[in-house]
Structure 1
Amino acid sequence: MTQGPDLAGQLALFQAVVDSMPWAIFWKDRDSRYLGGNQAMAKLSGLSAPTELVGLADTDLWWRDNAAEYRADDLDVIESGEQRLYVRLPFPGENGGTIWIDRHRIPLRDPSGAIIGVIGWFEDVTTRKLAEDAEAQAQLEATLEMATPLLPVADGVLVMPLIGKLDAQRAAQMTETLLAGVTQHRAHTAILDVTGVRRMDATAIEALARAAAGVRLLGAAAVVTGVGSTVAQAIVRLGVDFGQVTVLGDLKAGVAHALATAAKRRA
């Protein structure tokens, strides 16, 4: 009958298994002192071998400033008996930058099922996080583009209906789309309709004025429509100079004005 490996052999095999894992893995006792870890964890800790982790606490390692937080996380798992998986956190990188990790913790139990500590591991998800951020930004830009359409309504006349809240990011996107459209369509008039804007604060009004100024610099006329009494009072109160911008009550009046102006130029 073939005998299995002795205890020392089993421990060596276990260590070889965890050392082959791509994550930094550790296990601690109920006092949050390290009972062991794998080679990736030793490297992360600035140690040469996993055996050097044994008996240390987080206060002994280079992330000691966060030791109290990590101790609290350990206690949460130990006292609740529940696992805490996929906790995404920023983490200091080797070159002073920031990496993103998914942190996992589960209870460490003895053969009887009693909780004697915690097992944890870190997964570097920086590449995934950056890809997710890039995708989210692309979706945001697409949403903003759809929320700020530029409509050719007549030869040389563009209308940009604004709906919702006009914040700094959307204002910048609005201006970029508007000026590109004036150039592309060789427009003589660009109408900014603010009827659907819920609230016009200083940021929105100043952005509107800058967009109109940009249109004029391209040699086109800027028309703002849909300005109610509340917005008009805000413009006066803030002292925003709309210069040579034509301000009209509604979009219909703005289009009529643009067409009449174009007819006079042709006459």
Structure 2
Amino acid sequence: MTQGLDLAGQLAQFKAVVDSLPWAVFWKDLDSRYLGGNQAMAKLCGFASPDDLVGLSDTDLWWRDDAASYRADDLDVIQSGQQRLYVRLPFPGEGGSTIWIDRHRIPLRDPSGAIAGVIGWFEDVTTRKNAEDAEAQAQLEATLEMATPLLPVADGVLVMPLIGKLDAQRAAQMSETLLTGVTQYRAHTAILDVTGVRRMDTTAIEALARAAAGVRLLGAAAVVTGVGPTVAQAIVRLGVDFGQVVVLGDLKAGVAHALASAHKRRA
């Protein structure tokens, strides 16, 4: 049976454990003064040893501008006795860059169970956040693509039915999909059907005009369908110029117009 460690040995073992952790770990007293930390925390603070951290507060460190916020977080944990885990924040990195951290804080308790301060640690989650952001962007783009489908309904005729709200981001995606499709399918007519658009404001109407202008620059005809009295009045009121775009009441009329135009060109 191995002999138990004395106090000095236990402290040395504890130090070895916390220094081996990949996170910046620290512990503070009730006044938010540092009682200690691991080697990663010392490096973050710009110190050679964690011993240099003892007795300091956040106002003494290079992030002193955020000291009041950190003190408030400490007090929240100390007074509530509740842990605060996975608080994601931007944090200054090397060379003026920004990294993302998950900040964790739990109550520090003495042997009797009374709260004596706070234990905290920082976890660099920049890589994880970038991956999450990329996945979210991919999902958004897929959703936008499904929300603005481009349908070849006849030889040389494309229809893009628009449904819901047409905001700036979706308008940009709509134009890109439409113009790419006109080139890909060698379309002679592109129909934008706005029957399902809930509200046509300035952004939506101007986006339609720009998309139609782009279609014409590619040598195809642009047709807008599903324009009711309310939308027509909005177009007039805003003074948006649709130029040579054909505007019709419904999609059926738009397809018929496109087919008739194609027939005339072949005759």
TM-score, normalized by length of structure 2?
0.98
The 1-side partners of 2:232 and 2:182 are apart by: 26
Could you tell me which residue of structure 1 aligns to residue 264 of structure 2?
264
> What is the Cα deviation at residue 94 of structure 1?
1.6
The 2-side partners of 1:153 and 1:218 are apart by: 19
Post-superposition Cα deviations, 1:61-100, rounded to whole Å, max 9, x if no partner, equal 0111111111111011111111111111111112111100
The 1-side partners of 2:5 and 2:190 are apart by: 82
> What is the Cα deviation at residue 247 of structure 1?
0.3
> What is the Cα deviation at residue 46 of structure 1?
1.1
* Structure 2 unaligned residues grouped into runs of 5+: none
Moved over 3 A (4+): none
> What is the Cα deviation at residue 2 of structure 1?
5.4
Could you tell me which residue of structure 1 aligns to residue 101 of structure 2?
101
Could you tell me which residue of structure 2 aligns to residue 197 of structure 1?
197
* Structure 1 unaligned residues grouped into runs of 5+: none
The 2-side partners of 1:25 and 1:261 are apart by: 73
Could you tell me which residue of structure 2 aligns to residue 163 of structure 1?
163
Post-superposition Cα deviations, 1:94-113, rounded to whole Å, max 9, x if no partner, equal 21111000000000001110
Post-superposition Cα deviations, 1:211-245, rounded to whole Å, max 9, x if no partner, equal 00010011100000011111111111111111100
Please state if 1:148 is matched with 2:148.
Answer: yes
Q: Secondary structure of 2:101's partner?
A: strand
TM-score, normalized by length of structure 1?
0.98
RMSD: 0.9
Q: Counterpart amino acid of 1:149? A: P
The 1-side partners of 2:249 and 2:73 are apart by: 60
Give percent identity, aligned residues only. Answer: 89
Structure-2 change in CA distance of 1:2 and 1:137 (3 Å): closer
Count of equivalent residues: 267
Q: Secondary structure of 1:184's partner?
A: helix
The 1-side partners of 2:79 and 2:121 are apart by: 19
Q: Secondary structure of 1:31's partner?
A: coil
Q: Secondary structure of 1:95's partner?
A: helix
> What is the Cα deviation at residue 5 of structure 1?
2.5
Q: Secondary structure of 2:55's partner?
A: coil
Could you tell me which residue of structure 2 aligns to residue 209 of structure 1?
209
Please state if 1:246 is matched with 2:246.
Answer: yes
The 2-side partners of 1:238 and 1:123 are apart by: 52
Structure-2 change in CA distance of 1:189 and 1:2 (3 Å): closer
> What is the Cα deviation at residue 6 of structure 1?
2.1
The 1-side partners of 2:36 and 2:12 are apart by: 12
